[in-house]
């Protein structure tokens, strides 16, 4: 195939690939899918295939940043924090599952271009909840398998890199983490961007945007089509479940408020828009 033909084929493939702003929309636990992909060093959840009920373990990270593997016991593991991206992460991950289902136990998945194939929303049982377990490290990688000194050394190195992280169980998508001397709560929220920014502005203008005493809403970032507000605080994770529920109630009231913004609220909104952070 000549160079022009290859370029034409690539262009055609790009044209056929639908743009998806919210990669995980429609999946149970959309916010937690995003958190495992972008925020959580070591976390897992179990999903089921829609056609045969086969269980698949979704992992924040696999050894070597692998796309997936079939464990010696036959269970499929899929990694979320990977380098490959063919245009739609949901399509990529569904492709990893389909590839893994054809492999023998003990075999890693070699990722290939999924093309315009099925997405997670097409291959998973959407009635099953997405219940996340956050791990202190990556010891689960070596569950029920024989290890050697090299594997143990790699595990120890990976564990050293994992920032302490806790899921706040009272709400979806909220995670406390400790990075050096700093502590943060990052909360993946599934509200419309504009509405959420306006509601946060109302709370900030009213001095009501803190999670707990001595905490500060320092900014936000976007991930897979959703906004992720970020608070810096001094507290550890204990007791924060009550705080996020209380904040959620205040946020709901602010979201329901359709009165025009005051000058202070407009200024707060501009301030929040300008404070995008990169605490990942």
Tens-digit pLDDT profile for residues 47-71? 999 999 999 999 999 999 999 999 9
Q: How far apart are CA 232 and CA 218, in angstroms?
A: 7
Residue 227's Cβ-count burial label (10 Å; 0-12, 13-18, 19+) is buried
Per the structure block, which two tokens stand in for 165?
Answer: 């992280």
CA distances from 133 to 140, 186, 230, 265 (A): 11, 17, 21, 38
Contact 61, 199 (CB under 8 A): no
Give the pLDDT band of residue 5 (cuts 50, 70, 90): very low
pLDDT at 11 over 50: no
Q: What is the mean pLDDT of residues 90-101?
A: 97
Closest to 217 measured CA to CA, from 165, 275, 265, 267: 275
Average pLDDT, integer, range 88-115: 95
What does the domain layout of the chain look like in residue ranges? 16-147, 165-273
Please say if the pLDDT value at position 15 is more than 80. no
Confidence of residue 154 (pLDDT cuts 50, 70, 90): confident
**pLDDT tops 80 at residue 262:** yes
Handedness of CA 165, 144, 89, 11 (dihedral sign): positive
Q: How many residues does the chain have?
A: 280
> How far is residue 121's CA from residue 133's CA, in Å, rounded to a whole number?
21
C-alpha span between 222 and 39 (Å, rounded): 12
Q: Is the pLDDT of residue 7 over 90?
A: no
pLDDT mean over 15-37: 90
Write a three-state SS string for 32-51: HHHHHHHCCCCEEEEEEECC
DSSP tag of 260: P
Has residue 1 got a pLDDT over 50? no
**pLDDT, the chain, mean:** 91
Check whether 76 has a pLDDT greater than 80: yes
Distance CA 155, CA 113 (A): 30
Give the helix, strand, coil percentages of the chain, each rounded to 5.
35, 20, 45
> Which helix (DSSP H) or strand (DSSP E) does residue 76 occupy?
strand 76-79
Residue 4, pLDDT above cutoff 50: no
**pLDDT more than 90, % of the chain:** 80
Q: How far apart are CA 18 and CA 116, in angstroms?
A: 8
Please choose, from the candidates 175, 158, 174, the residue with its C-alpha nearest in 3D space to the C-alpha of residue 166. 175
Buried b (16+ CB within 10 A) or exposed e, 174-191: bbbbeeeeebbbbbbbbb
Is the model's pTM score more than 0.75? yes
């Amino acid at each position: 195939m000549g160079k022009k033909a290859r370029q034409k084929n690539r262009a055609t493939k790009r044209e056929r690939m639908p743009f998806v702003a919210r990669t995980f929309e429609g999946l149970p636990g959309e916010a937690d899918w995003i958190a495992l992909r972008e925020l959580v060093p070591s976390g897992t959840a179990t999903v089921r295939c829609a056609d045969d009920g086969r269980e698949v373990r979704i992992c924040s990270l696999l050894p070597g940043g692998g796309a997936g593997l079939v464990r010696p016991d036959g269970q499929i593991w899929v990694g979320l924090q990977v380098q490959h991206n063919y245009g739609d992460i949901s399509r990529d991950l569904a492709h990893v599952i389909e590839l893994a289902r054809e492999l023998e136990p003990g075999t890693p998945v070699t990722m290939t271009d999924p093309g315009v194939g099925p997405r997670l929303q097409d291959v998973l049982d959407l009635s099953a909840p997405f219940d996340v377990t956050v791990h202190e490290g990556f010891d689960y990688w070596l569950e029920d398998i024989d290890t050697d000194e090299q594997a143990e050394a790699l595990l120890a190195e990976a564990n050293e890199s994992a920032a302490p992280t806790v899921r706040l169980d009272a709400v979806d998508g909220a995670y406390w983490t400790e990075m050096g001397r700093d502590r943060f709560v990052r909360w993946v929220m599934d509200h419309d961007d504009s509405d959420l920014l306006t509601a946060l502005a109302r709370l900030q203008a009213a001095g009501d945007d803190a999670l707990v005493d001595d905490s500060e809403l320092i900014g936000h970032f976007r991930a897979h089509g959703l906004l992720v507000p970020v608070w810096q605080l001094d507290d550890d994770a204990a007791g924060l479940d009550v705080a996020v529920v209380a904040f959620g109630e205040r946020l709901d009231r602010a979201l329901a408020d359709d009165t025009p913004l005051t000058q202070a609220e407009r200024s707060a909104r501009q301030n929040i828009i300008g404070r995008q952070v990169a605490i990942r």
